[in-house]
Amino acid sequence: MAAEPATAEEVAAAPDPVAAVVMAAEEVEAPIGPSVGVTPPPAPTVPPPPPPIPSATAAPGAGGAGAGVRSGRDRVEQAPRATITRFDVQRGDHRVQVTVGLRQGAGTAEGVARAAPTVRSEQRAIAEATASALQQLTAAPLLIAVDRVDVEPAADPARALVTLTLMADRGEEELIGVSLVRGQPERAVVRATLDACNRRLESFLDVTSAGPLVPAT
For residue 213, being part of any structural domain is answered with: no
For residue 52, being part of any structural domain is answered with: no
What's the CATH code of the domain at 124? 3.30.160.270
For residue 184, being part of any structural domain is answered with: yes
Taking alpha carbons only, the member of 152, 207, 142 closest to residue 175 is: 142
For residue 104, being part of any structural domain is answered with: yes
**Count: domains in the chain:** 1
For residue 124, being part of any structural domain is answered with: yes
CA distances from 182 to 12, 118, 153, 162, 191 (A): 128, 22, 10, 16, 11
Residues of the chain with pLDDT under 70: 1-44, 46-47, 50-81, 139, 199-217
For residue 138, the model assigns a pLDDT of 81
Contact yes or no for 149/131 (Cβ under 8 A):
no
Residue 99, domain extent: 78-207
Residues 6+ apart with CB under 8 A from 144: 131, 132, 134, 135, 164, 165, 166, 167, 197
User: Is-above-0.85 flag for pTM?
Assistant: no
For residue 146, being part of any structural domain is answered with: yes
For residue 125, the model assigns a pLDDT of 98
For residue 19, being part of any structural domain is answered with: no
Roughly how many angstroms between the first and final C-alpha of the chain, as a whole number?
143
Number of C-beta neighbours around residue 175 at 10 A: 21
Tell me which DSSP letter residue 140 carries: S
pLDDT tens-digit series, residues 62-86: 444 444 444 444 444 445 567 899 9
**176 strand-pairing partners:** 163
For residue 142, the model assigns a pLDDT of 85
For residue 41, being part of any structural domain is answered with: no
